Amino acid sequence: MITNPAVNWLYSSEPEASTNGRRIPVPRGRLLGGSSALNGMAFVRGQAQDFDTWAQMGNQGWSYESVLPFFKRMESYGGGGDDTFRGRDGPLRVTNPEPREPFFAAVIKAAGEVGIAHNPDYNGARQDGIAMSQATIASGRRMSTARCYLDPVRRRSNLRIETGAVADGLLFDGKRCIGVRYSVGGPRRGELREARAAREVIVSGGTINSPQLLELSGIGQPERLQSLGMEVRQPLPGVGENLRDHYAPRTKWAIGTKGITYNDTARGLGLVRQALRYALSGRGLLGSVGAPMRAFVRSRDGLAAPDLLLGWVPMLTEPGPKGPKIARQSGVTCYAHPMRPESKGHIHVVSADPRRPPAIHFNFLSAPIDATLTARAVRIARAIMTAPAMAPLQVTELAPGSDRDSDEEILDWVRGAAETTYHPVGTCKMGSDAMAVVDHRLRVHGIDGLRVADASIMPTLTSGNTNAPSIMIGEKAADMVLKDATA
């Protein structure tokens, strides 16, 4: 699905210095459930401090204490943990995969040797430590938002789901949003239709498409819109700004001991065995989360909370005709990156034509602290992979290569090789400052009857993956809509 145009918008970023002029793939789900229907299925909420920061920025009702009930309400977590933090009867089933492969036991031991303790519930009281990834997988099946939230209510008489429809403009009566114009009939602009709203319109197109739809509707930076011949309905300079993502180098390691990685156990006949295992038990590679193990780590002593994320995938991939495929060489991939990057990019339309993809500029590593922390994260990955507990696996560093030792040598490799972990946020930032797009109740500034509810409203990137906080935003938006409707 990572390369399939039938289910993926397949965006890519503009070339920039931090990528050595490369375009970085920006996959986004183009199906019901959005990116939750093709993501890596790791379930990570973030840290209490992430949400307390949002509240301190003036976003009333978004402190950790305020959002915790929504995190609990969304999930049915069967993996234990503390009821203070975990939900037991929500729509989204979250599980703990079993660490069957000996590789994971070795990494947990190796992390312990460099001072990183095992923490079985990083979505509980503390995030710190190394753990198997919690997953939006149950009985071997993906728990997308389409499956968990839409499927149970499909028969409601007041719900109509229209697929194959692309919204290309909002409808207004003055400063009030009264509906949506959309086209049906495939990716080329087909028949145009309108949907009218009795109360309000909620845009949930995600971090790439929500600012695009606002700009196409005349909400954004006046000079930019005018230069493209577009009418300005509401000047809002923050639309499309404040883009943040995790720029994540993938360190690569050869494993000499046989039978440890999926390169050995999931190729040829091994793949048949994996398919059988999946069919019988829902487990193994085919029932697995994208990166089955992760560590939340502090770059230095004295920090209040972890600032780096490392994730392990027990295999190497290589390019294939239909996208990445399992490589012949046996090995391990470990990505490592700062969790709360300060570098900010932007996404803007380049044409009034809704079919033209917007231009995505990440500006990775433009904040010096991001470069420092990225090099530090790679070094911590190296320390774990070369700790004594890993010796029985016969580990050799492939990338960046042990000869790249200084920050500059590591960053030089990062610029030529890193990609994101697909967590863009922030382009319709929530807040009350001049660059904010929505207020703390997710209402677009200056327009009545219009909310944005998706990852684009995050003022900062949360500490980890973004599916769980995006669903929390959806839960909280639903609560606001209901409260406003009955007020």
Question: Minimum CB separation from ligand FAD for residue 418, in Å?
Answer: 15
For the question of residue 423 being annotated catalytic, the response is yes
Interaction between residue 40 and ligand FAD (CB under 6 A): yes
Tell me the backbone φ, ψ of residue 34, rounded to 5 degrees. 55, -140
Report the distance separating Cα 334 and Cα 315, nearest Å. Answer: 9
Nearest to 377 by CA among 463, 298, 461: 298
Question: Minimum CB separation from ligand FAD for residue 332, in Å?
Answer: 18
Please say whether the beta carbons of 25 and 362 come within 8 A.
Answer: no
Active-site residue (options: 337, 346, 423, 445): 423
Q: Six-digit token pair at 135?
A: 């997953």
| Span from 32-40, 265-273, 355-363, 407-415 in contact with ligand FAD (CB under 6 A) | 32-40
Strand 419-420 with 395-399, pairing: unpaired
Interaction between residue 127 and ligand FAD (CB under 6 A): no
Please say whether the beta carbons of 207 and 426 come within 8 A.
Answer: yes
Please say whether the beta carbons of 163 and 186 come within 8 A.
Answer: no
Beta strands in 80-145 (DSSP E): 92-94, 129-132, 137-138, 141-142
Of 375 and 438, CB closest to ligand FAD: 438
Residue labelled with tokens 């992390």: 111
**# chain residues binding ligand FAD, by CB under 6 A:** 32
Sign of the CA dihedral with 140 first, then 144, 149, and 151 last: negative
Report the distance separating Cα 107 and Cα 113, nearest Å. Answer: 10
Interaction between residue 457 and ligand FAD (CB under 6 A): no
- The SS3 assignment for 468 reads helix
Interaction between residue 312 and ligand FAD (CB under 6 A): no
Question: Minimum CB separation from ligand FAD for residue 145, in Å?
Answer: 7
Residue 328 DSSP one-character state: S
Residue selected from 11, 332, 470, 472 as contacting ligand FAD according to rule CB under 6 A: 470
Of 277-306, which residues contact ligand FAD (CB under 6 A)? Answer: 290
Interaction between residue 467 and ligand FAD (CB under 6 A): yes
Report the distance separating Cα 384 and Cα 381, nearest Å. Answer: 5
Interaction between residue 468 and ligand FAD (CB under 6 A): yes
Of 36 and 59, CB closest to ligand FAD: 36
Please say whether the beta carbons of 207 and 454 come within 8 A.
Answer: yes
Residue selected from 13, 18, 19, 39 as contacting ligand FAD according to rule CB under 6 A: 39
Interaction between residue 211 and ligand FAD (CB under 6 A): no
Residue 164, Ramachandran bin (φ over 0: left; ψ between -120 and 50: alpha; else beta): left
What is the end-to-end Cα distance of the chain in Å, rounded? 43
Q: Six-digit token pair at 122?
A: 């990083």
Question: Minimum CB separation from ligand FAD for residue 209, in Å?
Answer: 3
Tell me the backbone φ, ψ of residue 220, rounded to 5 degrees. 165, -155
Interaction between residue 431 and ligand FAD (CB under 6 A): no
Please say whether the beta carbons of 260 and 316 come within 8 A.
Answer: no
Per-residue x/- track, 390-429, ligand FAD (CB under 6 A):
--------------------------------xx------
Interaction between residue 171 and ligand FAD (CB under 6 A): no
Per-residue x/- track, 236-275, ligand FAD (CB under 6 A):
----------------------------------------
Interaction between residue 460 and ligand FAD (CB under 6 A): no
Of 4 and 66, CB closest to ligand FAD: 4
Residue selected from 13, 16, 44, 374 as contacting ligand FAD according to rule CB under 6 A: 44
| Span from 124-132, 202-210, 226-234, 311-319 in contact with ligand FAD (CB under 6 A) | 202-210
Could you list the active site residues?
A: 423
Residues that bind ligand FAD (CB under 6 A): 2, 27-30, 34-36, 38-42, 44, 166-167, 204-207, 209, 213, 290, 422-423, 454-455, 465-468, 470
